[in-house]
Structure 1
Amino acid sequence: MASQEIRKVTEAYPMKGGDGPDSYAKNSTYQREAMESVKELVTKGIAEKLDIDLLLPSNSFHIADLGCSVGPNTFSSVENILEAVELKFQGQGLMNPQIPEFQVFFNDHTPNDFNLLFKSLPPNRQYYAVGVPGSFYGRLFPSASIHLFHSSFALQWLSEVPKVVEDKNCPAWNKGRIHYLSSTDEVVRAYKAQYAKNMESFLHARAQELVYGGLMVLIIPGYPQGTPLSHSVAYLTLQLIEACLIDMVKKGVISEEKLDSFNIPMYSMCPQELEAVVEQNGSFSIETLETLPRVLADDAVLNAKQFAAHGRAAFEGLIKQQFGKEITNELFDLYGKKLEEELSMFKPRKTTSFLVVLKRKEK
């Protein structure tokens, strides 16, 4: 019931499609570097935690990438996982043709640019590819049909903005702001509650779809407990976008009412929050929870043009939904200029992500 209810309210926030200069495909190098930085950890996790005995006999091994976007990052992640799984099978003394065939399910919201995704599939891939549209906050697959789930830089996106932050009659109304990072305690609590609700729905759905002994490998942006959120790159990024929108309200380009009703549906978790929701769900054990090294190099941060393009690839879809496509060029041009003015503030900021490996408990 929980997964059915959340599917009704889940909204889609696709990354910018196509392969143009502002597309997500051309502006997701930070995510790619983070995924490459955990390759050894993922291989180790699969080698030590994946129960081959529980998965056999089977003539196929099913992997699902949740929030795949348009590539090429998803293909690199899948290749790394396939290599690790093959090594696991070989370590058990199995060789071709004893090793099962691989089938990979690429999942994202229905507005995702699946056309580009499948046009970009590696020609020499060693797996069968399937597209699965829909929100990962609900059921996507038959019961006990997936052996390994993967998701990178997707679980920070909430299914929806907490309703109370858009209610003028509620103490949590987030007037004049577009996120919770610099807002009131009421707004922060609303976002925390939405995150907990979403993660419970996510885990509830995956618990039904994952075979016993199967794994989930997740890369989730967040922050270490006790670290002020104002020290993060995400904080400054959203602050600058908010400042640009306020400037455009002052110019009369967009209305104050439109701004007051706009909030970014993103949440940065800390490990303790994730541990709490996993424990409450009860279907998974946490096998790995590690802080990833900072991969956003200083020269990348200090390249305003590149950083602005990354922001546009991530947020343009949301901006269009709320304000219309007519303002996007002006907004992101202004955003780029503000970035150039504030570059020195980005250098000491932290970009923190976590590698999480969850294992489906046996009956």
Structure 2
Amino acid sequence: MVEMASIAMPRTPRYRYKTATGFHLIKSLKKREIIDVAKEVAKEAIIEKLDVGVLNSPKTFRIADLGCSVGPNTFAAVENIIEAVKSKYQSQGLNSKIPEFQVFFNDHVSNDFNLLFASLPQDKQYYAAGSPGSFYGRVFPEASLHIVHSSTSLHWLSGVPKEIVDKDSPAWNKGKVHYASSGDQVIQAYKAQYESDMEKFLQARAHEIVYGGLMLLILPFHPSGIHPSQSATNLSLDLIGYSLMDLAKKGRVNEEKVDSFNIPLYLTTPQEFEAVVESNGGFSIERMEILTRSEFINGIDGHQIATHWRAGMEGLIKKHFGEDIIDELFDLYAKKADEILIPAIVKSAEQQVSLFAVLKRKAN
């Protein structure tokens, strides 16, 4: 066991922390590296924790990837899982009982599933299906899944906390678009929304996953003991707000429009994550891995970061402000990223981490 300085270890741990090497910046500028880093720990977790006897050797082994987007990362993650499940069967001398695989790709109905399925690997080892809908509710039939995977999606909330857009609320988030540098009331409103969403997520999965089935989750997290405003990841979100306020000062957007715009995204701490899992009661935490990078992302600049955030946020911003300001907004963002964010990322390099969690569905 390697004790992580940024994480307060529980007195009687029921899971292990390890270190690995990867890159992270919210969705990750290089999300594939996170999946590749997680490959070995995921394989080890499946071989250790998946009990094929409890699963009664199904003829069809069903996997769901939640928040799949349009690939190719989802395909890489699925292939990793299938190879690990096959290894589990082979390690127990059950080669003849290796099942067929069916994979469900899930994301919001607005996701481009046509693009996703047009890029399916020709040599895939599974039958593919799309399952549109929010994973904060039921998506699949009762006890129909054996493994659920989700990578860098669970930090997106189901919506913005209502209090932060209410002018009469002490949590009104005037002039800000995120919680990190706001008051305690705003932070608590975001946390409460996260806890509510995660309870819905876990409750839905408790119905859908067979007893003994696994969830493999990769999620951005915020180390305990550090104020959200000190996180370089959160600062990258604040810069969107700063850039919007600059446009408001120029008269390009209405300041009230900025006041009513907030990003529905929350970085949990390991302790908060553990608490919501325990409160739900449907899963045991089998293992938690820290995926962290050991060096700065070489050659990154403000333009690259702005391009990354534009890809992730353009839809939200267009819906609220229209598309006329998009180019100007992210040009401003790129300049601020070079001046403010890059130095902050270098300074807080060890804070850029992801959490890999393995949950097992409990029996009644």
TM over 0.5: yes
Aligned AA (1:351): Q
Provide Cα deviations, 1:287-324, integer angstroms capped at 9, x if missing partner.
01122122773315x32222221111111111111111
Once residues 265 and 332 of structure 1 are traced to their aligned partners in structure 2, the CA distance between those partners, rounded to angstroms, is: 19
Once residues 37 and 192 of structure 2 are traced to their aligned partners in structure 1, the CA distance between those partners, rounded to angstroms, is: 31
Q: 2:324 aligns with which of 326, 338, 343?
A: 326
Paired position in structure 1 for 2:344: 345
Q: How many percent identity over aligned positions?
A: 57
Once residues 327 and 237 of structure 1 are traced to their aligned partners in structure 2, the CA distance between those partners, rounded to angstroms, is: 19
Aligned AA (2:70): V
Once residues 341 and 287 of structure 1 are traced to their aligned partners in structure 2, the CA distance between those partners, rounded to angstroms, is: 42
Once residues 281 and 84 of structure 1 are traced to their aligned partners in structure 2, the CA distance between those partners, rounded to angstroms, is: 28
1:228 is displaced (CA, Å) by 2.7
Provide Cα deviations, 1:151-198, integer angstroms capped at 9, x if missing partner.
000000000100000000111110110000010111111111100000
What SS does the corresponding residue of 2:198 show, helix, strand or coil?
A: helix
Once residues 178 and 202 of structure 1 are traced to their aligned partners in structure 2, the CA distance between those partners, rounded to angstroms, is: 25
Aligned AA (1:54): V
8 Å Cα contact 1:101-1:127 kept in structure 2: yes
Provide Cα deviations, 1:318-357, integer angstroms capped at 9, x if missing partner.
1111111221111112211222223323212221210000
Paired position in structure 1 for 2:310: 312
What SS does the corresponding residue of 1:52 show, helix, strand or coil?
A: coil
Paired position in structure 2 for 1:199: 198
Return 5+ residue gaps in structure 1 as ranges: 1-26
Q: 1:28 to 1:189 in 2, by over 3 A?
A: closer
Paired position in structure 2 for 1:36: 36
1:83 is displaced (CA, Å) by 0.7
Once residues 282 and 344 of structure 1 are traced to their aligned partners in structure 2, the CA distance between those partners, rounded to angstroms, is: 42
8 Å Cα contact 1:236-1:346 kept in structure 2: no
Once residues 156 and 325 of structure 1 are traced to their aligned partners in structure 2, the CA distance between those partners, rounded to angstroms, is: 25
**1:67 and 2:75 are equivalent in the alignment:** no
Paired position in structure 2 for 1:272: 271
Once residues 284 and 159 of structure 1 are traced to their aligned partners in structure 2, the CA distance between those partners, rounded to angstroms, is: 22
Report which stretch shifted further, 195-204 or 330-339.
Answer: 330-339
Once residues 193 and 326 of structure 1 are traced to their aligned partners in structure 2, the CA distance between those partners, rounded to angstroms, is: 34
Provide Cα deviations, 1:96-147, integer angstroms capped at 9, x if missing partner.
4x21100000000001111111111111101011000000000000000000
8 Å Cα contact 1:30-1:295 kept in structure 2: no
Aligned AA (2:337): L
Paired position in structure 1 for 2:359: 358
Aligned AA (1:313): A
Once residues 298 and 276 of structure 1 are traced to their aligned partners in structure 2, the CA distance between those partners, rounded to angstroms, is: 32
Report which stretch shifted further, 255-264 or 328-337.
Answer: 328-337
What SS does the corresponding residue of 1:195 show, helix, strand or coil?
A: helix
What's the TM-score once normalised by structure 1's chain length? 0.89
Once residues 171 and 340 of structure 1 are traced to their aligned partners in structure 2, the CA distance between those partners, rounded to angstroms, is: 34
Return 5+ residue gaps in structure 2 as ranges: 1-26
Once residues 276 and 201 of structure 2 are traced to their aligned partners in structure 1, the CA distance between those partners, rounded to angstroms, is: 10
Paired position in structure 1 for 2:14: none
8 Å Cα contact 2:206-2:361 kept in structure 1: yes
What SS does the corresponding residue of 1:298 show, helix, strand or coil?
A: coil
Paired position in structure 1 for 2:160: 161
What's the TM-score once normalised by structure 2's chain length? 0.89
1:30 is displaced (CA, Å) by 2.2
What SS does the corresponding residue of 2:214 show, helix, strand or coil?
A: strand
Once residues 258 and 80 of structure 2 are traced to their aligned partners in structure 1, the CA distance between those partners, rounded to angstroms, is: 42
**1:56 and 2:51 are equivalent in the alignment:** no
Provide Cα deviations, 1:243-295, integer angstroms capped at 9, x if missing partner.
11000001111101110000000000001111111111111000011221227
Paired position in structure 1 for 2:90: 90
What SS does the corresponding residue of 1:314 show, helix, strand or coil?
A: helix
1:28 is displaced (CA, Å) by 5.6
Aligned AA (1:62): R
Aligned AA (2:49): K
Once residues 346 and 262 of structure 1 are traced to their aligned partners in structure 2, the CA distance between those partners, rounded to angstroms, is: 25
Once residues 87 and 240 of structure 1 are traced to their aligned partners in structure 2, the CA distance between those partners, rounded to angstroms, is: 46
Aligned AA (2:315): G
Provide Cα deviations, 1:27-50, integer angstroms capped at 9, x if missing partner.
964221111111111011100001
Aligned AA (1:159): S
What SS does the corresponding residue of 2:251 show, helix, strand or coil?
A: coil
Q: 1:128 to 1:134 in 2, by over 3 A?
A: same
Provide Cα deviations, 1:197-235, integer angstroms capped at 9, x if missing partner.
000000000000000000000001011211232332222
Once residues 326 and 267 of structure 1 are traced to their aligned partners in structure 2, the CA distance between those partners, rounded to angstroms, is: 28
Count of residues in Structure 1 that have an aligned counterpart in Structure 2: 335
What SS does the corresponding residue of 2:306 show, helix, strand or coil?
A: helix
Paired position in structure 2 for 1:335: 333
Once residues 116 and 327 of structure 2 are traced to their aligned partners in structure 1, the CA distance between those partners, rounded to angstroms, is: 25
1:238 is displaced (CA, Å) by 1.2
Aligned AA (1:259): V
Once residues 121 and 49 of structure 1 are traced to their aligned partners in structure 2, the CA distance between those partners, rounded to angstroms, is: 29
1:56 is displaced (CA, Å) by 2.1
